[in-house]
A and B are shown apart, each in its own frame.
Chain A
Amino acid sequence: MNDFPDIQSHLGDYVSDFVDFLDNALSGLFDFIFFISSRTINGIEAFLDFLPWWLFLVLIFLLGWYFKSLWSGLLYTFFIFLVGTFGLWEEMMMTISIVLSAVLICLIIGIPLGVWMAFSKGFSTVMRPILDAMQTMPSFVYLIPAIFFFGLGNVSAIFATLIYALPPVIRLTELAIRGVDPEVVESAQSFGSSRWQMLTKVQLPQALPTIMAGVNQTTMMALAMVVIASMVGAQGLGEQVLISINRIDIALGFEAGISIVFLAIIIDRVTGGVADRFQKHRRAN
Chain B
Amino acid sequence: MANIKVKIDHVSKIFGSKPKSVIPQVKSGKSKAEILEETGHTVGVYDASMEIEEGEIFVIMGLSGSGKSTLIRCFNLLNKPTDGSIYVDGENIIEYNSSQLKKFRQNKIAMVFQHFGLFDHRTVLENIEYGLEIKNVSKEKRQQIARENLEVVGLKGYEDKYPDELSGGMQQRVGLARALANDPDILLMDEPFSALDPLIRREMQLELLDIQERLKKTIIFITHDVNEAFKLGDRVAVMKDGKVVQIGTPETILESPANDYISDFIKDIDRSKILQAENVMIKPNALVSLKDGLKVAIKEMEENGISSVFVVDRSRSLQGIVTIDDAIEGIKEKKSLEDVLSTDVTTVTKEEYVNDIIPKALESKYPLAVTSGNGRLEGFILRVHVLSGLVAEDVNESTEYHG
Contacts and interface: CB of A to CB of B under 8 A. Distances in A.
A282 B232 CA distance: 35
Interface in A171-199: 181, 183-184, 186-194, 197
B15 interface: no
B105 interface: yes
A97 to B, nearest CB: 33
B102 A194 contact: yes
B102 A184 contact: no
Interface stretch (A2-10, A200-208, A257-265): A200-208
A186 B117 CA distance: 8
B339 interface: no
Interface in A261-285: 281-285
A184 B104 CA distance: 19
A187 B111 contact: yes
B133 interface: yes
B117 A187 contact: yes
B349 interface: no
A206 B121 contact: yes
B357 to A, nearest CB: 42
A190 B76 contact: yes
A184 B110 contact: no
Nearest to A206: B121
Contacts of A184: 117-119
A183 B113 contact: yes
Given A202-B119, A284-B165, A187 B113 contact: yes
Q: Which of B103, B104, B105 has the most CB of A within 10 A?
A: B105
B199 interface: no
B382 to A, nearest CB: 51
Contacts, number: 74
Interface in B106-135: 106-107, 109-111, 113-122, 130-131, 133-135
Nearest to A209: B121
A115 to B, nearest CB: 17
B362 interface: no
Contacts of A208: 121
A232 to B, nearest CB: 42
B102 A192 contact: yes
Contacts of A282: 120-121, 162, 164
Q: How large is the interface on A (under 10, 10 to 19, 20 to 34, 35 or more residues)?
A: 20 to 34
Q: Which of B78, B103, B119 has the most CB of A within 10 A?
A: B119
Given A184-B117, A206-B121, A194 B134 contact: yes
Interface of A is mostly: helix
Contacts of A183: 113-117
Contact of A191 (B110, B114, B115, B162): B110
Contacts of A190: 76, 78, 105, 109-111, 188
B162 A201 contact: no
Contacts of A189: 78, 105
B78 A186 contact: yes
Contacts of A205: 119, 121-122
Nearest to A187: B117
A192 B119 contact: no
Given A191-B105, A192-B106, A283 B113 contact: no
B183 to A, nearest CB: 12
Contacts of A281: 121
B130 to A, nearest CB: 6
B164 A284 contact: yes
A283 B164 CA distance: 6
Contacts of B117: 181, 183-184, 186-187
Given A183-B114, A186-B113, A191 B182 contact: yes
Contacts of B119: 184, 187-188, 202, 205-206
Contacts of B111: 186-187, 190
Nearest to B188: A190
Q: Which of A187, A194, A205, A208 has the most CB of B within 10 A?
A: A187
A207 B121 CA distance: 10
Shortest 5 CB-CB contacts between residues of A and residues of B: A192-B105, A187-B117, A192-B106, A190-B111, A191-B131
Interface of A: 181, 183-184, 186-194, 197, 201-202, 205-206, 208, 281-285
13 contacts: A183-B113, A187-B118, A189-B78, A190-B105, A191-B110, A191-B131, A191-B134, A191-B182, A192-B102, A192-B131, A197-B134, A201-B134, A205-B121
Given A187-B117, A282-B120, 6 more contacts: A183-B115, A191-B182, A192-B104, A282-B121, A282-B164, A284-B164
